[in-house]
């Protein structure tokens, strides 16, 4: 996720394989559980590069393609509870996830006019949604502008991805 050439390659292969990509789930994570004063700047950079820059690389690359090709799309960014509050001993991750949350909110407003919807949720909420039936899942309201995203589309894409992955690892 840190290398933009690899990100471009994954996106190209995804469009080649599926024909269309209209959903992105960013779940990049990295952490050093440590007193911050013990971390080197390289350790801090590694977490920022994975979590924040990796999310930015995929979001901007796909977003520009979606805008250019007029594709309606959805982005779900997985954050953590400390993206809102901060937390000791995980400062690089807290900073990166807060950046992802801020980017999500900002792009949700900017890209709404292109029918690209962005959501951020911490994993507990995603697990709650994944354990509900499609009929139990309401339309989610995610921005102050009451921009709407139907989570069932995200679940449909995840189901298809899971089937493809199962097929790849199928014992013959």
Q: What residues act catalytically? A: 82
3-state secondary structure of 145: coil
Q: Which two tokens stand for residue 170?
A: 């199928």
For residue 26, which of 93, 122, 111 has the smallest C-alpha distance? Answer: 122
Strands 148-149 and 23-26: unpaired
Output the CA–CA distances (angstroms, integers) from residue 8 to 11, 69, 144, 156, in the order listed: 5, 16, 32, 24
């Amino acid at each position: 996720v840190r290398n933009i050439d690899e990100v471009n390659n994954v996106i190209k292969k995804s469009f080649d394989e599926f024909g269309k990509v209209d959903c992105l789930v960013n779940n990049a994570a990295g952490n050093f559980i440590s007193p911050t004063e013990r971390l080197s700047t390289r350790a801090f950079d590694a977490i920022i590069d994975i979590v924040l820059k990796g999310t930015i690389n995929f979001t901007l690359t796909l977003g520009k393609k979606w805008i250019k090709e007029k594709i309606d799309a959805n982005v779900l960014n997985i954050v953590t509870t400390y993206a809102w509050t901060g937390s000791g001993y995980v400062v690089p991750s807290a900073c990166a996830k807060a950046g992802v949350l801020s980017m999500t909110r900002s792009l949700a407003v900017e890209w709404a006019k292109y029918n690209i919807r962005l959501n951020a949720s911490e994993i507990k909420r995603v697990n709650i949604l994944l354990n509900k039936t499609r009929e139990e899942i309401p339309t989610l309201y995610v921005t102050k502008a009451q921009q709407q995203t139907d989570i069932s589309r995200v679940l449909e894409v995840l189901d298809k991805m899971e089937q493809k992955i199962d097929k790849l690892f199928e014992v013959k």
